[in-house]
Amino acid sequence: MATRRRQRVRRSQAQWSGIFQRFERSGLSAGAFCRREGLALSSFQRRRAVMGEASGRSEFIELEPPPGGEPAATRWAVELCLPGGVRLRLRV
C-alpha cells in the first residue's frame, strides 16, 4: 500500500505572523492548534523560535522593583494572562 506524503508548503514571514496571531487568540495548546490548522507541530515550534529570535524577543525577562520607599510586601506585582483564561499572579 502506497503512503501519501504531504507536499511541502513554503510560507512567508507575514503568513507565519498571521498563524501565530491566530494561535494566540485561539486559547488552544500548540498541538491542538496545529492539528486544527493542518500544520506540523515541529515546523510551528521551529518557526516560532526563529521568528522570536529575529524580533529580538527573549524568553527571559528580568523584572526590577520600581524605585521608591514602598514596603517590601507591596513593592510590585505581576499578573500574566495566559491562553485559556489562566492567570499567574506574583507579588514580591
pLDDT top residue among 42 and 77: 42
Domain boundaries, the chain: 13-91
What are the grid coordinates assigned to 40, written together?
506540523
The rounded distance, in Å, linking the Cα atoms of 23 and 47 is 13
Over the range 54-67, which residues count as b (16 or more CB within 10 Å of their CB) and which as e? eeeeeeeeeeeeee
Tell me: the pLDDT tens digits for 65-75? 666 655 555 55
The rounded distance, in Å, linking the Cα atoms of 24 and 6 is 26
Predicted TM-score (pTM) of the model is 0.52
Residue 36 confidence class, pLDDT cut points 50, 70, 90: very high
